[in-house]
A and B are shown apart, each in its own frame.
Chain A
Amino acid sequence: MKKIYLILVLLSFFAGMGRSSAQIGVDISYIGPVGPPAYYLKPTVGIEARVLSGNEDSKFRACISVGYYGFKPTQDTFPTVTVESGGANALLPGHEVIKSYSVVPIGFGAEYRPFKSRLSPVIGLEGYFYLIDFAYHNDVQTLINEENESTEWEVAIMPKLGLSYKVSDKLLLSARLGYSIGLTGTVDTQTYWKTSVGFIYIPE
């Protein structure tokens, strides 16, 4: 998993650096799960490296990003219940313990800045491919007691809205709020609020 992550980071950066006018930046994000995952996963802080194509003065710019989020569970254990429909026909209580839950988001998208002033609103749309790696312990009384580890994926779309402020000719600060909506994947669709602050370095 870590190898994939590193390769993707490097590829993304090389792809971005290959364009002379590309800008590089880093975002720190506060990610708040919405819907069912919110009951299992605490909000967390994630980091993403971003590359924006095009001149920094242009209104439309494409961006790619790679990052990492590590979620913590909201509880030490989660009560579960399993219906044993065989001869016994019983409701078997159990519990799950989430040992780890990490996400590598790979994003591709576009941003639009309507004003060329120092301070400007930014709107954008990104498509995400999430690699989700998690490990958990599953215990169902009289039936199951096992450790599980799984790697899943999900495709999501994230509209976003924010502000950017050009501090200097080489530095642009930004704050954005995105809403990532899971579309399809090998897990139940997951939705996040994502609040990001970051900077963009503008090369010569």
Chain B
Amino acid sequence: MKVKIKKSMQRAGTSAVLLIALSGIFSYSCKKLTLNDALPVVAVKSVSVISADSAAVTGTIINPGADVIEYEGLCYSSDPMPQMLDNQYFVGNSSTNFTIHVPFKQDSTYYVRVYATNSYGYGISSPYKFTVAHAKPALAPCPLSNMKLVDQGNPYPIDFVYSGTGYASYGVWGLEVDYNSGNNALRMDFNKVPTNGAYVVQGDAGQFSSDNNPKEVYAELDVFNTYNMQSGDSVYVSENADKSISFSFCHLHYIVGSASISMAGQFTAK
């Protein structure tokens, strides 16, 4: 009788343990997921302006989701909710923090979102708003007098400055500076109306046109012949309150024969 009761208790005990185990596993199997649990979670960590026409956007992977990250990228636009295909930039999985350089325009507000993909899909961040301020005025780092040019060491007062889209030979906006009683003319071409900042001389007119770089300038000197200014020198631009634009430069080089001749000057275009 005792043996029978003991066996019966053993069976009941085994069954109870099983029941508890089954309940535990059942509870685990009831765990509800959605695909969002498998997708990466990302955020914009920072946006910093790194030059007159570019910014560095850093995104961070907060959670890679249920699989490894395949791509990291960003999209931006002036719309408060940019979509993935708006100005899209992406790279292969680099690291938890990824930085991508993007072009921008001054005086503009952008909204940027970063995203990351894994085998389940993609996660995209909330928009991050950043404004690109107007660049500061730039002045040539040398002593100059306004409305004067120094050519081959000789100072010349400037007679006239003409400017506007009609004076552009290669870009979209140009100017002509007449000096030496109208016998000499310095011409400059820009790919857009110049704004505050430093512009770099591109000495090859064809290259200047194909670059279409908003921070390049093409310059040439018209005496009896035409001499183009050599690449690499800088022209500094400063916007004035009365909407006029001041230009200054310490060195613009042109070649006559085997001699390299330097020009300096400062003038204002209305």
Give how many A-B residue pairs fall within 8 Å (CB-CB).
Answer: 97
Additional A-B contacts beyond A36-B38, A74-B33 (15; CB < 8 A): A43-B30, A43-B32, A81-B71, A81-B117, A90-B85, A91-B73, A91-B90, A92-B85, A93-B122, A115-B11, A119-B11, A120-B11, A141-B84, A142-B85, A163-B22
A79 CA / B40 CA spacing, docked (Å): 12
Closest residue of chain B to A92 (Cβ to Cβ) is: B85
Question: Do B22 and A175 touch (CB < 8 A)?
Answer: yes
A100 at the interface (CB under 8 A from B): no
B229 at the interface (CB under 8 A from A): no
B121 at the interface (CB under 8 A from A): yes
Question: Do A119 and B18 touch (CB < 8 A)?
Answer: no
Interface of B is mostly: mixed
Question: Do B15 and A119 touch (CB < 8 A)?
Answer: yes
Interface residues of A in 111-134 (CB under 8 A from B): 115, 117, 119-121
A117 CA / B10 CA spacing, docked (Å): 12
B residues with CB within 8 A of A: 8, 11-12, 14-15, 18-19, 21-22, 25-26, 28-39, 66, 71, 73, 83-85, 88, 90, 115, 117, 120-122
Given contacts A30-B26, A193-B25, contact A163 B15 (CB under 8 A): yes
Question: Do A39 and B18 touch (CB < 8 A)?
Answer: no
Contacts of B115 in A (CB 8 A): 91
Question: Do A91 and B88 touch (CB < 8 A)?
Answer: yes
A109 at the interface (CB under 8 A from B): no
Given contacts A75-B36, A115-B11, contact A39 B120 (CB under 8 A): yes
A151 at the interface (CB under 8 A from B): no
Contacts of A90 in B (CB 8 A): 85, 88
Tell me the smallest distance from the CB of A58 to a CB of chain B, in Å. Answer: 18
A91 CA / B14 CA spacing, docked (Å): 56
Question: Do A75 and B26 touch (CB < 8 A)?
Answer: no
Q: Mark A7-23, 1 if CB is under 8 A from B, else 0.
A: 00000000000000000
Give 9 A-B contacts (CB < 8 Å), ordered by A residue. Answer: A36-B66, A38-B31, A39-B35, A39-B37, A39-B38, A74-B33, A81-B122, A117-B8, A163-B19
Interface of A is mostly: strand
A residues with CB within 8 A of B: 30, 32, 34, 36, 38-40, 42-43, 74-75, 78-81, 83, 90-93, 115, 117, 119-121, 141-142, 161-163, 175, 177, 193, 195
Question: Do A91 and B15 touch (CB < 8 A)?
Answer: no
Question: Do B121 and A30 touch (CB < 8 A)?
Answer: no
A36 CA / B33 CA spacing, docked (Å): 10
Question: Do A78 and B121 touch (CB < 8 A)?
Answer: yes
Tell me the smallest distance from the CB of A166 to a CB of chain B, in Å. Answer: 13
Question: Do B14 and A121 touch (CB < 8 A)?
Answer: yes
Question: Do B39 and A79 touch (CB < 8 A)?
Answer: yes
Question: Do B85 and A141 touch (CB < 8 A)?
Answer: yes
